[in-house]
Amino acid sequence: MTNIIDSSVQCWGCPIFDRLVSVISDAAASAYNQFALFCVLIFCVVMAFFVFDAVWKNMRNGGDPFYQKSLKPVLINSLFVFALLGMGMWLPRFISTITFEPVADITTIYTQTMIGVDEQTVNDAVTYKVQTMNADGFFRPELRNKIILLMKTTITQFQAYIKLGIAVMDSAFEWRALLGIGTLIKHILIFSMGLYLVYGFFRLFVKFCFYFADIIVAMTFFAFFLPLSLVMFVFRNSDAPGWIKSIGKNVGADQIKTLINAIITLAAAVITYTVIMVIISKFFAGHGTSVPDLMNMITTGSVTAANLSDDNIASLTLMGCVTLIYVLNFIAGEIPKVAGQVMSAFDVAEEKTLSEQLGNDALKLGENLLKTTTDIGKKVLGIEEKKEDKK
């Protein structure tokens, strides 16, 4: 069963993300100089409106220092911005090197340290290998590699959590289950709890496979609108109208923050559900296995039914089973709030609006396909016809 999980719970979104990053990087690089020239023309048009607005304010306010408050900051900023535009592809790759890549790297290191795995363990568990990418594109291949490694690191935990559910299910198949009707019902509940873990984390895994969508959108906006954001930066410290300044902010600084948030969101699944694993480890750890040891077995995917405490399972009452399942369901609903508080402490917000929608649509599609297949199967087997005959 674990081999089936290892082979099926893989990085389904990695090939798509890999290819899209390569296409966006090459397309943005090829259009960068032309779009930069177009943005200079936009600058000239906006500059004309800006000068007209500044002159009008100067005349209306009666001798306002036009040069100091309006024209001087724009002239200084324009010299700086046009020099940056003249650097070509060196500028965006430099920005990626000092912003996005360190964020992805630090997030991956933090996640791997928290769950006790390394890069080699991740690559052994999730086997996708990155494809060749043009090093002269808008984004460096290193950024793509770090994001995919972060995606693969999180997927190793979905593998591990599903294996934990199977271990809990295995623990229900013991001779104790035959000692009485109460014990039998209790072990059925234990089996149901394990099945709930398998089903719940597999659904989360399917949704996670679409989490790269928000990163792709943010990378696309940043890649194609960087020249425009630079041009609009010219008016940042001037007495320009608010709508001019907002253009540069929305397509520039905001997109950088959005992309950073989307990268960090890839690790949110590990941050949120580690709490549930701690509770399960605390409950099922036996006398010979400490809570940290069992936690390590869970996160590394090496946990089996033999690692779970027989004493704790034997002492688990019917009410205890029901209570534990209720607690797990309650925590699963509350954990996103906790994750939001943790991420807000670092001034980071989860960016997965599009990803959540795609993930939910995929789950809905899967449910509809399953229902359709079931209905077809019933018709083929004549189950519905038999029911009608009985009536």
Q: Check if the beta carbon of residue 35 is closer than 8 Å to that of residue 224.
A: yes
Q: Give the C-alpha separation, 216 to 206, whole Å.
A: 18
Q: Summarize pLDDT for 29-80 with one digit per residue, the tens.
A: 998 888 888 888 888 888 887 777 777 766 666 555 555 666 777 778 788 8
Query: Looking up tokens 């907002």, which residue turns up?
Result: 246
Over residues 105-140, the pLDDT tens digits come to 988 888 888 778 889 989 998 999 999 999 889 999
Instruction: Give the pLDDT score at 208.
Output: 82
**Gap between the Cα atoms of 151 and 129, Å rounded:** 12
Which among 68, 1, 306, 260 has a CA at the least distance from the CA of 146?
A: 260
The pLDDT-based confidence of 23 (bands split at 50, 70, 90) is very high
**Tens of pLDDT along 311-344?**
555 445 444 555 555 555 665 565 556 556 555 6
User: Of 14-23, 194-203, 368-377, where does the model show the most confidence?
Assistant: 14-23
The answer, yes or no, to whether residue 22 has pLDDT greater than 90, is: yes
For 229-251, how does the pLDDT look when each residue is reduced to its tens digit (9 = 90+)?
Answer: 888 777 776 666 666 666 666 66
Give the span between the Cα atoms of 16 and 3, in whole angstroms. 24
pLDDT reading at 142 higher than 90: yes
Q: Mapping DSSP to helix (H, G, I), strand (E, B) and coil, where does residue 63 land? A: coil
Confidence class for position 194, pLDDT limits 50, 70, 90: confident
Q: Calculate the average pLDDT of the chain.
A: 74
Nearest to 233 by CA among 251, 217, 220: 251
